Structure 1
Amino acid sequence: MRLRRREFVGGIAAVTIASCVPRDGAADSKSTASPTVESFSPELAAIIDPAGQLETLATGFSWSEGPVWDQMRNRLYFSDVPQNTVFMWSEEADLEIFLKPSGLPDGEDPAPFDSAGINGMWIGKDGQLIAASHGKRAVTSIDIDSKVETVLADQYQGKPLNSPNDVVEDRHGNIYFTDPPYGLKDGDQSVLKQQSQNGVYRLAKDGSISLIDASLTRPNGIALSPDQSILYVAQSDPARQILKSYVIGRDGSIIDKGVFFDAQSLAGDEAPGLPDGMCVAVTGHVFATGPGGVLILSPSGRLLGRINTGKACANCTFGNDGRTLYMTASDKLLRIPLKIRGIGFA
């Protein structure tokens, strides 16, 4: 595969080569050995080539996050949260700025915020970009062509949300999102924090919001199983690095199934990163960021392999025809070919 390395320093002076900006719940960007695909099961060979190599598409970000593939326009969107920017990448145009600022307006005092930009994103059923905005402390919808933004949710029980982090939409138009305090300066001790919990929520199609789980200390990445009967949520707490799963009933009710995968034993200085963003294949395999890079898990939660990204990996998504995994890892945008497709690709 053709190796492409492009340092993006044009457009805005703030986008330069930089290490990850450490924050509560985010690992530093310490490099590991050369990135490779690490196998823990013979089953992995049917999912990804064990000899597969990472391709670096762009570098020079502060903390790259939230990748999502736009099938209609054949391009990827991803965010640099501290730099308050959403980028887009395509084979034809390479790297471009899609939205700047992505969160708080330019000139607004960012002092109470650790990062003011958009974090996780999703392409909605209506073709619009659904975004978890740290700075706006809201889940929003952005028209991709006009860039007009609409707030979908910014409160729960009359109080402002913390700083929505990641989003996923089901086939009916209901949106699930996580709301840790990462966007707020001083986190749980922020003067702006009014929610007692760092919650996992369901934003129903009718606009009502319900709290799914208030027990997680650092809820982060979120995803749905192929049949949308299971909701997965990653927790980025260094002391309890887990992925949880929940059963979703036909009536929208949710039952906590407990721990889907415990990544704590994988943690260490040689494996930077925490459970963060994730995506799911049509086969039910879960690609979850975690210690060392991207963990490849069976539908039952067995660890089959790991893509060692060399730096803390924040998130991942499928792109192209669904058989390419794009990864945002600290200051880099990476990808690797797969043998299976992601959900939503024909």
Structure 2
Amino acid sequence: MKKNIVPFFVACLALSCSTTAFSRQQHSNDPVRPGESLKLVSRKFAFTEGPAMNRKGEIFFTDQPNNTIWKYGLDSTLSLFMDKAGRANGLFFDRKGNLIACADENNELWSIAPDKRVTVLLNNDEGRRFNGPNDVWVDPQGGIWFTDPYYQRDYWTRQAPELKHQGLYFLARGSRQARLVDTAFTKLNGLIGTPDGKMLYVTDLGGGKTYCYDIAAPGALRNRRLFAAKGCDGMTLDNRGNLYLSGKGVTIYDKSGTLLRHIDVPEDWTANLCFGGKDKDLLFITAKQAVYTLKMRVKAAE
């Protein structure tokens, strides 16, 4: 018996068109530029951390065991910015061009001026030494948010923390006393806020979770909620609101918490990342002894 195959072909064509449209939609959501892959910049460091972009798009990062801060220029060259850098870990630029540094050699928070003059902003919480400031973000009003977990360092003489908590802190602009905002973490680590100053992401690396808060006022958070059932070391945002979590490679979520993709990094650990470059579309990744770049179809969140 002869079958009418026209409806079958119409159905197949519709399915094909639908699949193609879905593939294009998925492809358009991918923040990585098509055809691009990781590029190794250098492997001459001990342990790289804390990348931060200045207004020009230049990237500064730390080599904590060697107590140095390096610059990755717009011409893709590396240069030493600062030695004796306080064993700096996390970095972030404020609006005046000062580099705010988590200097955990003596458990301090520094402001490093463009001429490399150092101002110690904080070194204790009501007389007790910080555990070791780890990561930092500066909000649009100049307020400084930072995390203070305890990671025993081989260059410390102490063998135990003076504080009973590992906390998230806020330092108001011009203040000399930080406010303890939250301690509900196993061991917190990286953080980042949105450019409009309305949301803050904080990771609990020890608890394997990343949280999101609404910033109700300077130093005040509300509506803490689980963003991803995954902890990380450092994190960054792009101009679409996608959140990038480092650790075992790089994992990217959209603003709703939906997993977009994973970027494999050929190192045991990926410590941190940020955007930079002339067009601010270069993802810069610190991973143990190495640093990498990846060209993106998105840009830095500003």
The counterpart of 1:165, out of the listed 120, 134, 142, is: 134
Match of 1:336 in 2: 294
Q: Distance in 1 between matches of 2:152 and 2:66?
A: 12
Corresponding position: 1:316 with 2:286: no
Q: Distance in 2 between matches of 1:210 and 1:96?
A: 36
**8 Å contact from structure 1 (residues 318, 324) kept in 2:** yes
What is the root-mean-square deviation of aligned Cα atoms in Å? 2.3
Match of 1:177 in 2: 146
2:67 is matched by which residue type in structure 1? Answer: N
Corresponding position: 1:216 with 2:185: yes
Q: Give the deviation of 1:186 after TM superposition.
A: 11
Change (3 A) 1:183 1:51: farther
Secondary structure, aligned partner of 1:244? strand
Match of 2:101 in 1: 131
Q: Distance in 1 between matches of 2:142 and 2:213?
A: 18
Per mean C-alpha deviation after superposition, the further-off stretch among 205-214 and 59-68 is: 205-214
The counterpart of 1:97, out of the listed 60, 64, 80, is: 80
Corresponding position: 1:293 with 2:260: no
1:169 is matched by which residue type in structure 2? Answer: V
Q: Which of the two has higher C-alpha Rg? A: 2
Match of 1:283 in 2: 240
In proportion to residue count, which structure has more helix?
A: 2
**8 Å contact from structure 1 (residues 162, 184) kept in 2:** no
Q: Give the deviation of 1:192 after TM superposition.
A: 5.0
Which structure 2 segments of 5+ residues have no match?
A: 1-22
Q: Give the deviation of 1:130 after TM superposition.
A: 0.5
Match of 1:49 in 2: 33
Match of 2:14 in 1: none
Q: Give the deviation of 1:150 after TM superposition.
A: 0.5
Q: How many residues get paired?
A: 276
Q: Give the deviation of 1:50 after TM superposition.
A: 5.4
CA-to-partner distance for each residue in 1:125-157, whole Å, 9 max, x for gaps? 111110001102111100122x11001111112
Correspondence list, 1:1-346, <5 A: 42=26, 45-49=29-33, 51-72=35-56, 74-92=57-75, 94-103=77-86, 117-145=87-115, 147-182=116-151, 184-185=153-154, 190-207=158-175, 208-237=177-206, 240-250=207-217, 252-263=219-230, 275-290=232-247, 292-311=248-267, 312-320=269-277, 321-344=279-302
Change (3 A) 1:252 1:133: closer
**8 Å contact from structure 1 (residues 220, 277) kept in 2:** yes
Which structure 1 segments of 5+ residues have no match?
A: 1-38, 104-116, 264-273
**8 Å contact from structure 1 (residues 226, 284) kept in 2:** no
1:196 is matched by which residue type in structure 2? Answer: K
Secondary structure, aligned partner of 1:127? coil
1:125 is matched by which residue type in structure 2? Answer: R
TM-score of the pair, normalised by structure 1: 0.74
Change (3 A) 1:129 1:175: same
Q: Give the deviation of 1:214 after TM superposition.
A: 0.9
Q: Give the deviation of 1:44 after TM superposition.
A: 6.2
1:287 is matched by which residue type in structure 2? Answer: Y
Q: Distance in 1 between matches of 2:225 and 2:158?
A: 29
